[in-house]
Amino acid sequence: MFSTRDLARGLTRNEWWDRPKNDDGTRRNYFEIVTPNAGWNVGNEASNGRTPKRAIMVNGVPAHTFSGKRLTVTLRELERLNIVPEMKAHPDRVSAVPDQTVNGKTYPAVQYKSDHGTFIVMFDTATNLPARVRTPDWDALEGDSVYDAEFFDWRDVAGTKMPFHIFYTLNGMTICDMTYREVVANPQIASNAFDIPADQLAKAAKPSDPRITPFHWAIRRTYSSFYMDVDNQYGDEGTKPTIVDIGPYISETQGWTHNTVFIDMGPYLVAMEAPNDDGQSIAHLALKKQKYGDKPIKYLVLSHHHVDHVGGMRQYIGEGATVVVGKGDGDYFRRALARPQTQNWNAPDKSKPYNPVVIENTGKWSIKEGNRELDFFMMDNPHADDMQMGWLPDLKLGLVTDIWNPGPPVTASNPNLASVVHAVDKLGLKPTKFAGGHGGVGDYAQAEQVVKAAEKK
């Protein structure tokens, strides 16, 4: 990565090289220009079709303006790296806070409120330099959280101090470990280094309200190349979810990038997956009400722990659902769901009871109402150790997430798809169709044929 900043004008150009997970298996190269009022991305920063519809082609690569959410996230994180000059420029936004203790060490601290977030700046008493810059954040999996940047290896650069090593954590978990190789002050910068095409600048999104900005969705998904840079967050511009029957008593939300499946067991419903965050769950629950009225949701089954399929779970708990998770996940989810959610702008209705109950599936979890049976099996796969596969025996319908996105014709095998076929064989199931957390409904016989033909070679 190569970053050029004009601190006086608040302009940044970040050039990212050799980033992983491009659509065709190659590495990704792109650059981004960030101004106080707009952002511009040139190159393929996202994989698997996540380039937004508004993108245009520039010199043979896709280019698009930032969403308002990505712009706020980026501006806040740039401020974090320049926090002392920011505070000096806006002393009216600085206030005293109590000393902060982290990992047994106590730091004198101040609070700084910018247009893009609130920072707690902790100082090293030996150097009087920032040791840790914290933001209190919402994380859809972790709940109310603290996001820290720890600054190390301060060096003199043209009369000013710069940290050459920055270590980012969320609630103590590593997010990013960044080291600068070289910092040059006052370099020669091309006159067009920060230019955004005038026609794109005119329609670029302005920064979003930080109180409703999903910082950690954007930060981690951008690092991994899975971020779709749209303010809608759940699907590209202009898309809306619908609810579609995929069997006699089973429906699936479709239209956005991630689905929820609803199984009607007669007296109650079972939901599978609560994708992205509670905002998407609000939309999916509205579709549920449209289809099933006030029928209660008794269980929410989470196929695996990845945040893009569980982040909306609190809305279902607010509806009275018990959460079913995979083997090894029970204690973690109980702790996460016990954390406060004061920063969750899509929190469940406070007038309703909120009592998280978690069941851990250690091998097979089953329910039966009349002639309707629903099973979830733990299964071996390369995607997640806690993966559950659903099974409706009378419909001969399997349910999976991420390891197969059913719907499009299956033309080639891969380790994830092969794990589905191996699990079906191991369990002695006889499915005809599969559905789940992405896509639509797929033909199992075709998938099985492709996998077994590949394994014979």
pTM over 0.85, yes/no: yes
Q: In this predicted model, what pLDDT tens digit does every residue of 239-276 receive, in sequence order? A: 999 999 999 999 999 999 999 999 999 999 999 999 99
Three-class SS state of 339 = coil
Q: In the chain, what's the furthest Cα-to-Cα distance?
A: 77
pLDDT for 81 equals: 97
Written as one letter, the residue type at 218 is A
Q: Is the pLDDT of residue 333 over 80?
A: yes
Q: Is the pLDDT of residue 457 over 90?
A: no
Token digits of residue 151: 């600054």
Q: What percent of the chain has pLDDT over 70?
A: 99
Say if residues 383 and 304 touch (Cβ distance below 8 Å): yes
pLDDT for 23 equals: 60
Going by C-alpha positions, the residue among 424, 390, 386, 419 that lies closest to residue 404 is 419
Going by C-alpha positions, the residue among 385, 350, 260 that lies closest to residue 312 is 260
Q: In this predicted model, what pLDDT tens digit does every residue of 380-397 receive, in sequence order? A: 999 999 999 999 999 999
pLDDT for 338 equals: 97
Q: In this predicted model, what pLDDT tens digit does every residue of 95-134 receive, in sequence order? A: 999 999 999 999 999 999 999 999 999 999 999 999 999 9
Three-class SS state of 163 = strand
Indicate the pLDDT class of residue 306, thresholds 50, 70 and 90. Answer: very high
Strand pairing class (322-325; 297-301): parallel
Which runs of E-coded beta strand occur in 37-124? 39-43, 56-58, 61-65, 94-96, 100-102, 105-107, 109-114, 117-123
Residue matched to tokens 């967050």: 233
Three-class SS state of 30 = strand
CA distance 78 to 70: 12
Find the mean pLDDT for residues 146-173.
97
In order of 123, 424, 436, 446, the CA distances from 456 in angstroms are 62, 18, 28, 16
